[in-house]
Structure 1
């Protein structure tokens, strides 16, 4: 009995640590591939196409179990794909290419704060400043945004750096291939200040799209309960949308030819880990431990990103990133604490209508991720 109870606590912990490692790994290997010349538009299309193929069997096996698909539901899936994959992933991989996986992981903790703000705007959440939980969420949101400004606009002196071959600015341009200059996986990739700020801007846009996706996802989950079908269709529609945009933007045929090096590794790793393993693992943890438990592991991604970035990409860690990340994490936990306190005040379903009949944002289908599906 004690052993079973111990496994009940240890297994979800191990799973969530592996999930965070896998998600940071996606941005790390994609950064490596893009720095060596791979177009992030090509990467997004191939990565999501592979993820869709991986999800296809589970979708087909449930064809007799899922609720009927209506035109309204399919439209919801279409917009989930547009916001969650097409817009979000174009922004996140553009931002990672211009900055670093560490910045992406730090800014990813803005998602709960932005989700709270948008939920208030859409009247899915109510703010009562007389309650400590509401004050915590408001102050946490302000702290998170402040930290985002610091980590994006202030770099400061370096704390951790390793010597390596510095990539020229043009290496971040997907139209330039640098396979000859970069024969090894390990290198130094210190972006310019302008690229860092632009990258941060795209990553903040990613958080806004992720927050919008969370809200639409909660409303969709309230209407259509079959998770496997929702995940498959939103990934399927997102892949088609990314392909249309990418074929229009990336007209160089040679850019679509995959090479058996880090480019292929990045696509296979991202498609398998991000498209199948991560989604399944997070869904399992949600069912066992709940959304708050899953969300609490998000700041761990910053530490993992720093370790991977310094070890494999030769990233330079600056004091501004540390200060900003700490402030963002404190704001993140304040928002999550306030959310948990308010949820404990009422006995509701995960996604339930309020007195006016408006769906409230309590338990999105899956936590929104910076670069995963």
Structure 2
């Protein structure tokens, strides 16, 4: 029973939560795109969504950490949080402006830069092992390449339609997106810079949460920091006060959804996963948003499902499984001090082999 709970906590729970977060992120990007098409400013969206997130996290931070023994704050921790706030605000500005110029689909495609950049940075900062002869390292490298390749298959290869469009509004949405293709180069550049900075954010946040293991407090302070930083900057960029008046339509829905589900729930899950599984694990879920966006488009928007999306999703799943196998094998090797799980001698440690078999 204890082994089962441990397995669920270390493997099943992070995987489930990360998939939920990626689904939420795709929904947030889609709602944001719909709101900008109605005229909402991305500056207004950033300030309001992070303000909502900070307000939501105040009671949660008190509830979950009221009995937690935490280390005292120091100037280095405050500096890290401020740095995370600056990086996070920069990511949001670049990301949402990039989506405004392009589309959520292009945003999902460019997110493939994050796993590769995070993997390189994690190796530089010795947060990931790099042993060329180790099966775990080889699996992680090959799986990452396959994962990213599958995501690009979804974008670059369309193929014949398997499921045709069922809602006429999706045609008009595609028409609008085609009109915006002239700005796709600008949007793509902004999104590329965004996801490279995000990789840096993952590394710093992973180090910060290990020094101060209180996810809700850290995320609350992080969102509060972004709100404080973004308010004067966005007021300068968007001085028209009428733009700050939000109507009860898709704009309000996108702000509330992103603030509660995206900035609050999503960042807390990312921070907890960074502490328990590491930055590379979190970054590897980014390409999954490609497949998730395709599925959600078919189910909720009535968009066509093409062969390229199916093939790409299968490749993504294979690459993701290979990387997860490499991570699990590496974690098991670290737990028991061996180079590979299979190298444990059955004759000398039968009970240990039984335990490992159950863990698998």
The two structures have a TM-score, normalised by structure 1, of 0.69
- Distance in 1, matches of 2:249 and 2:237, equals 24
Partner Cα separation in structure 1 for residue 309 and residue 107 of structure 2: 11
Q: Within 1, Cα distance between the matches of 2:143 and 2:17?
A: 27
Match in the other structure for 1:309: 297
The corresponding residue for 1:352 is none
- Offset from partner CA, 1:245-282 (integer Å, 9 cap, x none): 32232232222111111101111111122244445667
1:219-298 correspondence to structure 2 within 5 Å = 219-279=207-267
Give the CA deviation at 1:55. Answer: 1.0
State the secondary structure of the residue aligned to 2:73.
coil
RMSD value over aligned CA atoms?
4.0
Contact 1:138 1:335 in 2 (8 A): yes
Query: Secondary structure of 1:199's partner?
Result: helix
Whether 1:95 and 2:114 are equivalent positions in the alignment is no
Partner of 1:166: 172
Q: CA deviation at 1:89?
A: 1.7
Per the alignment, residue 79 of structure 1 pairs with: 83
Please say if residues 42 and 256 of structure 1, whose CA atoms lie closer than 8 Å, have aligned partners that are also in contact: yes
What CA distance in whole angstroms lies between the structure 1 residues aligned with 2:31 and 2:110?
19
Shift of 1:96: 2.5
**Distance of 1:68 and 1:139 partners within structure 2:** 42
Alpha-carbon distance change, 79 to 324 in structure 1, aligned in 2, over 3 angstroms: farther
**Is contact 1:133–1:339 with CA below 8 Å preserved after alignment?**
yes
CA contact (8 A) 1:66 1:229 kept: no
Matching residue within 130, 134, 137 for 2:133 = 130
Question: Is residue 31 of structure 2 the alignment partner of residue 29 of structure 1?
Answer: yes
2:55 equivalent to 1:53: yes
SS in 1 for 2:335: coil
Give the whole-Å Cα distance in 2 for the aligned partners of 1:116 and 1:315: 34
**8 Å CA contact retained: 2:151, 2:290:** no
Matches of 2:289 and 2:239, distance apart in 1: 35
Contact 2:21 2:262 in 1 (8 A): no
Q: Distance in 2 between matches of 1:23 and 1:15?
A: 12
Answering whether residue 204 of structure 2 is matched by residue 216 of structure 1, we say yes
> Highest Rg: 1 or 2?
2
CA distance in 1, matches of 2:124, 2:19: 33
Paired residues in the alignment total: 322
- Gaps of at least 5 residues in structure 1 are 172-188, 349-373
Q: 1:15/1:120 Cα in 2 relative to 1: closer, same or farther (>3 Å)?
A: closer
* Cα offsets for 1:4-37 (capped at 9, x unmatched): 98xx79x958766644433322112111111211
Please report the TM-score for the alignment, with normalisation by the length of structure 2: 0.72
SS at match of 1:77: helix
- Residues 82, 336 of structure 1: alpha-carbon distance in 2 compared, 3 angstrom cutoff: farther
Say which SS state the counterpart of residue 347 (structure 1) adopts: helix
- Per-residue CA distance 1:269-322 (angstroms, 9 max, x = gap): 1112224444566778899x9679988876654343224335656767676666
- What SS does structure 2 have at the residue aligned with 1:166? helix
Among residues 308, 333, 337, which one is paired with 1:345 in the alignment? 333
| Map of 2:346 onto structure 1 | none
Structure 2: 5+ residue stretches without partners: 337-360
Structure with greater helix percent: 2
Offset, 1:107: 4.3
Given that 2:44 and 2:244 are in contact with CA atoms closer than 8 Å, whether structure 1 keeps it comes out as yes
**Paired residues of 1:45 and 1:242 also in contact (CA < 8 A):** yes
How far off its partner does 1:212 sit? Answer: 0.9
Whole-angstrom CA distance in 1 between matches of 2:301 and 2:239: 29
Distance 1:111 1:284 in 2: 18
Residues 1:206 and 2:209 are matched in the alignment: no
CA contact 2:115–2:284 (8 Å) conserved in 1: no
Distance change >3 Å, CA 209–CA 339, structure 1 → 2? farther
Matches of 1:191 and 1:158, distance apart in 2: 23
